[in-house]
Structure 1
Amino acid sequence: MSISTSVLEALLQAQPQLRSQIYFKPSLIALSHAMEDQVLAGVGEPLVIANFQQERFYRQEAHRYRRIAAQTPHVYVLAAPETEFKNASGHYETIAFAPTDELKHEWHLVVVGEQYASCLVCRERDAIASTPSPEGCKNQNEWSVLQTSFLEMDQSRRFEGVWTFDRQVSCWVANLLLDRIVGYRPELAAKVAQAKLKLQQNLSGFPQADPGPFAERLVTYLQAGQYKLLKAYSSIAIQERKERLINSITDTIRRSLHLDEILQVATSELGQALGLCRCMIYRCKATDTAATISHEFLGSSALASVAQQTWPLQNHPLFQEVLEKRSPVWMENTQSSPRLQAVPEILALAQEWQIGSWLMAPVFYNDRLLGLIELHHCGAQTYRWQQDEIALVEAIATQLGVALIQAEAYANLEDLNEQLEALDRTRSNLIAITGHELRTPLSTIQICLESLAQEPDMPLELRQVMLNTALDDAERLRELVQDFLTLSRLESGRVEWHPEPLPLGECVDLALSSVRSRQAEVSLPQITTCLPSELPLVQADGEWLVEVLSKLLDNACKFTPTQGQVTIEAQDNQNQMLEVTIGDTGRGIEPNRLEAVFDRFYQEEGALRRTTGGTGLGLAICRQIVQNWGGQIWAQSDGKDLGSQFRFTIPIVGNTKAQPAESASETRQPTRRPRNRTRAKRRTTLK
């Protein structure tokens, strides 16, 4: 059975004086509940007929109709079945009409009692045109899915219909619906006849229904709707504020990787958005005992600024709880908080800076603490931190964690770029030095050996010259390779150090002997040793100390003309260190290059056009040696052609003073000797 006639259309044809109106679903719910409440609050056994369109809408109100069924036996519920709804006689009569019946698009509720009557007859507007039809679907399941999607737009559903207290109209609609009930369930004919009989009795002479309950229900429903609307608006405003803040910080992160700018924007935006007295963001680690406040927002000019103040963390109860919980923690009133009462230092801090309510949120990234966000409300009044404020702070902390990591990565990338540039310069210098310092002596050695091999009758004097030239260039190659290996061992930490108490004068004498023997055939500048008669013993490895002195003296002699002067001085700098100075009156160093001279392969004139030999590794080796024993090395010069001074420090052995040395032969020699073998010794052997 399926009836295509609309109850609303039939009513309007039978009662032309009625005018239909437009109702939204919330209004119909309020009216229906008011009619049902009138049954629950009244007496007697009224007739109640309800059409819910579909089973899913009926299930939302089933509990109410079980209560109504306890009031009267004449309760009839109609709906199109979807899963479990069917024709049944239980607490009340349920009538499952065909899904193609016009009732599926209508909403009806009729209540007829002895003292009142009301009727609500509505039809969903454009339901036939809007609702998916089964003919356009592949199967019943697809049709159900489409219907569900359509009907879930609940609050915007519109109905056209009639709501009235008129008893005659209510009885007419009730008779029409009872006839349809009998059509679907003929076994209810006797019970329906009793209901119709009650409708015929006392059609006139009864009071009209009291509209009070309906008005109260509508007001209550509207107030509840307004409250939900306000909550929705508040939630939207909070979400908008949160997204605006996050977008502002994200935009700053995208525009700049400058950490100070990012933190300042976050501090200012968060402080203004929450109306705080003070907002602070600063960097710290989980192991820090204190931190420096780097960025601050003040909500009032009357508040004291804590910027650049040292903030204690070691005994701070909020900080310890943050590390434990890994989430924001707060105090609503610092003066009454038992956590602060147990730590007088932090309580005094809160009083000094007028902190009334305190919130601390961590900035984490991959379980690593990067910093903290602190929010303060000042004054004696208790401030209750809201969940939306805490959620906002957590969202900002998450963004800051990403920003801090990105800024660190950018800084590390800059360092890596500088290192790559340095490596590139080193590679270029190495290529130049390899070409100049290796190829040239190898070519000389090859020419000398070829000449000796091809000219067996060469005079003895010329043969000796060839051999000496080859030996000299072989020594240059050996020194170059030795410097490479020495610097590599020092930088990789593969050197075994043997520090011992040593007199500086001995090491200076050995270094001078080494320099003079290596440059026996070269006119050296005048070298003057100006050491005090009494010097404290130094704690160093003798072999490496002689190496530093030798290389610095070599460097001074190399860049000082023959008529110039080189001096060696030493003094106690009153800091448990002995300061040694090797000065010269030579070429000098530009002020902007005083630090660069210690770089590997540094050549003042360039690797290929310099007038003096060398690999550019000597000063780099000296720096590695001096830094190993805890000293410092640096260069001083007033500029080009104004001479230079190289200074380095050596640790002193306690306060023990060395005895004055009468001569080099009377002093104790270091246990290790310089490793350089001189060319002069080899020449003597050849002769």
Structure 2
Amino acid sequence: MDQARRFEGIWTFDRQVCVQAAMLLLNRILKYRPELAEKVQAARETYGINVDVGMGRKSGKTKSKSNRRYLKKASEVVTQNPQFNDPFAQRLVTYLQASQYKLLKAYRSIAAQEQKQRLINIISNAMRRSLDSDEIIRVAVQELGKALLACRCLIYQCRALDVTATITHEYLSSSVKSVVNQEWPLQDNPLFQKVLQTQEQVSIEDTSLLPDYCLTETPQGSKVQAKNCIETLISQWEIKSWLMVPLLYQGRLLGMVELHHCGSCPHHWPDDKIDLVQAIATQLGITLIQAETYAHLEELNQQLEALDRTRSNLIAITGHELRTPLSTIQVCLESLSQEPDMPAELRQVMLDTALADADRMRHLVQDFLTLSHLESGTVEWNVEYLPLLECVDLALSSIRAHHSQKDLPNITTQVSTELPLVLADGEWLVEVLSKLLDNACKFTQSEGTVMIGATSNGNNMLEVIVSDTGRGIEPKRLEAVFDRFYQEEGALRRSVGGTGLGLAICRQIITRLGGKIWAESEGKNRGSQFHFTIPIVSNSEQNREGKSKKKKQT
């Protein structure tokens, strides 16, 4: 045999050679792994290797001897037979051991790949069932925690500048404390900052031996603060070994995967397990960005639908509210110009009609401009302390001036003079009250009732209520009535004039003044209530305001 050539393998049907090779391998195993003696003996009995090489089979009596005597005899055979010590035998044993190692390594690699693919398939199936990120994370955290035999597995969404993250999904083994609904520190956690800086996984086998980067300053605090933060987490949640893997998409942080081993013994994080977590993190990052994109798409679709409704309403309102008065004005002016002998009384009627429709158009254009200024933020606010009752009286005067008394419903006021002052811009507050009262009067018949009242809700806010016994609003449309150009029905647009901007203007004004506005109704023909809140002046501030006014008067 050429000693210089590399040994590649053998192929033989000679039982003596096969038995010899098996004997060499089993004795080599026995030498380096004596604790496997029973398994070695079982293998020899199974495959009939209980023979002295070159001497034939032993009797059944020999097979029944104790393991100790047999192993001693086998050892003597190996040491006494010189053919076991030649280079061929040694190379044969080495080759068999190397082959066994390669097979074991290949098996482990295949098992790891199978486990990785199985987890990815589970997450992919969850993603196909739903694009809800919470559902996908819930499935992933359970499967990943089980696969890696972790004591605790956390997956949460976060961004680079988040101070904390609320834990909503976790996997727990038995006798480990849950961190669900806990505020998990991020900016003060040096591990999180290390992951954010390197955009790679960070692992600690033994948290009692923290690496140097855990003792550096974080963007939110000093070294002491960073050390206290991580030591508090380790102590409170009994974390002995820690692994953090980021969820990234094109360099943007979307979330984090954390694996904890609790107890007293450190845990080594094998490379294949870290690779598995990173593969799952990559898949989750893609999944989260898809869910985020889908949510944004849904939001954009809703905005487009709202924009389309606004466009349709604008066209309908413009066609009705502009064309009708323009046609009336044109007819009146043509009649005046073509009939110079028209009686004075009829001439005056024509002029009054044209002026009324011109004023109607002016109000329509004014509503457009008012809403535009409010939405663009170009309005100058003059906030001061005001009695609400004065604003209500001004609004009622405006309503009575624009409506004939016979068409108005019965309007009652329940606003006490003992109410605290409100902090608002008087002109805009009167505008809100006027539009709400005008809206209530338009949709309430003359035999109906409109009531305006106010109460203090105990949160430094005054709640104003404008209620009526009119047509009411369907419950599903209570929020939509505040949209721009919103009108209930085509029939209402024909029977009741208006631009559909009044309530949208009211919402803008009340929001700018620091309050809220909403509508309530039990349904059609059940009346409606419009509520809004406005800040009030505390008693101490009211006393100071009264003293300052007295000083000015003296």
Aligned residue in 1 for 2:51: none
User: Are 2:487 and 2:493, in contact at CA under 8 Å, matched by a contact in 1?
Assistant: no
Percent of aligned positions that are identical: 66
Q: Does 1:455 align with 2:339?
A: yes
Residue of 225, 250, 253 corresponding to 1:369: 253
Residue of 236, 251, 256 corresponding to 2:110: 236
Q: How big is the shift at 1:415?
A: 0.8
Aligned residue in 1 for 2:155: 281
Measure the CA separation in 2 of the matches of 1:26 and 1:572: 103
Aligned residue in 1 for 2:535: 651
Measure the CA separation in 2 of the matches of 1:462 and 1:658: 60
Residue of 198, 201, 204 corresponding to 1:328: 201
Closer/same/farther in 2, CA of residues 514 and 313 from structure 1, 3 Å limit: same
Aligned residue in 1 for 2:88: 214
User: Are 1:436 and 1:608, in contact at CA under 8 Å, matched by a contact in 2?
Assistant: no
Measure the CA separation in 1 of the matches of 2:492 and 2:419: 43
Aligned residue in 2 for 1:227: 101
Measure the CA separation in 1 of the matches of 2:85 and 2:531: 105
* Structure 1 residue identity aligned to 2:6: I
User: Are 2:84 and 2:90, in contact at CA under 8 Å, matched by a contact in 1?
Assistant: no
User: Are 2:406 and 2:446, in contact at CA under 8 Å, matched by a contact in 1?
Assistant: no
Measure the CA separation in 1 of the matches of 2:422 and 2:432: 14
| Aligned residue pair count | 460
SS at match of 1:264: helix
Aligned residue in 2 for 1:29: 6
Question: 1:640-670 deviations in whole A, cap 9, x for unaligned?
Answer: 33332212112224434499xxxxxxxxxxx
Alignment of 1:509-588 (within 5 A): 509-520=393-404, 522-588=406-472
Q: How big is the shift at 1:555?
A: 0.8
Q: How big is the shift at 1:515?
A: 1.3
Q: How big is the shift at 1:306?
A: 3.0
Measure the CA separation in 1 of the matches of 2:8 and 2:338: 124
User: Are 1:537 and 1:658, in contact at CA under 8 Å, matched by a contact in 2?
Assistant: no
Alignment of 1:126-275 (within 5 A): 212-275=86-149
Question: 1:417-446 deviations in whole A, cap 9, x for unaligned?
Answer: 111111111111112112211111111111
Aligned residue in 2 for 1:56: none
Q: Does 1:629 align with 2:502?
A: no
* Structure 2 residue identity aligned to 1:389: K
* Structure 2 residue identity aligned to 1:650: I
Measure the CA separation in 2 of the matches of 1:524 and 1:295: 59
TM normalised by structure 2 equals 0.76
* Structure 1 residue identity aligned to 2:398: S
Q: How big is the shift at 1:519?
A: 1.4
User: Are 1:535 and 1:657, in contact at CA under 8 Å, matched by a contact in 2?
Assistant: no
User: Are 1:432 and 1:608, in contact at CA under 8 Å, matched by a contact in 2?
Assistant: no
* Structure 1 residue identity aligned to 2:385: P
Residue of 304, 308, 326 corresponding to 2:181: 308
Q: Is there any run of 5+ residues in structure 1 with no aligned partner, and where?
A: 1-22, 33-207, 660-687
Measure the CA separation in 2 of the matches of 1:336 and 1:645: 66
Measure the CA separation in 2 of the matches of 1:430 and 1:627: 24
Decide which structure has greater helix share: 2
* Structure 2 residue identity aligned to 1:30: F
SS at match of 2:195: helix
TM normalised by structure 1 equals 0.62
Q: Does 1:407 align with 2:291?
A: yes
Question: 1:358-394 deviations in whole A, cap 9, x for unaligned?
Answer: 1111112233221111112222111111112112212
C-alpha RMSD over aligned residues: 3.0
Closer/same/farther in 2, CA of residues 586 and 251 from structure 1, 3 Å limit: closer
Question: 1:500-529 deviations in whole A, cap 9, x for unaligned?
Answer: 222222222221221111114653122222
Measure the CA separation in 1 of the matches of 2:319 and 2:521: 31
* Structure 1 residue identity aligned to 2:341: D
Measure the CA separation in 2 of the matches of 1:507 and 1:353: 59
* Structure 2 residue identity aligned to 1:447: V
* Structure 1 residue identity aligned to 2:455: Q
Closer/same/farther in 2, CA of residues 210 and 26 from structure 1, 3 Å limit: closer
Decide which structure has greater strand share: 1
Aligned residue in 1 for 2:271: 387
Q: How big is the shift at 1:499?
A: 1.8
User: Are 1:271 and 1:278, in contact at CA under 8 Å, matched by a contact in 2?
Assistant: yes
Closer/same/farther in 2, CA of residues 27 and 422 from structure 1, 3 Å limit: farther
Closer/same/farther in 2, CA of residues 274 and 387 from structure 1, 3 Å limit: same
Aligned residue in 1 for 2:322: 438
Question: 1:11-45 deviations in whole A, cap 9, x for unaligned?
Answer: xxxxxxxxxxxx9x99962179xxxxxxxxxxxxx
Measure the CA separation in 1 of the matches of 2:365 and 2:284: 51
Aligned residue in 2 for 1:187: none
User: Are 1:534 and 1:658, in contact at CA under 8 Å, matched by a contact in 2?
Assistant: no
Q: How big is the shift at 1:551?
A: 0.5
Measure the CA separation in 2 of the matches of 1:27 and 1:449: 120
Measure the CA separation in 2 of the matches of 1:652 and 1:569: 15
Measure the CA separation in 2 of the matches of 1:617 and 1:465: 30
Q: How big is the shift at 1:343?
A: 4.1
SS at match of 1:536: coil
Question: 1:280-333 deviations in whole A, cap 9, x for unaligned?
Answer: 1111222333222222223x3444433333333343332232223321112212
User: Are 2:467 and 2:528, in contact at CA under 8 Å, matched by a contact in 1?
Assistant: yes
SS at match of 2:318: helix
Closer/same/farther in 2, CA of residues 484 and 639 from structure 1, 3 Å limit: same
SS at match of 2:490: coil
Measure the CA separation in 2 of the matches of 1:507 and 1:652: 14
Q: Is there any run of 5+ residues in structure 2 with no aligned partner, and where?
A: 10-81, 216-223, 545-554
SS at match of 2:398: helix
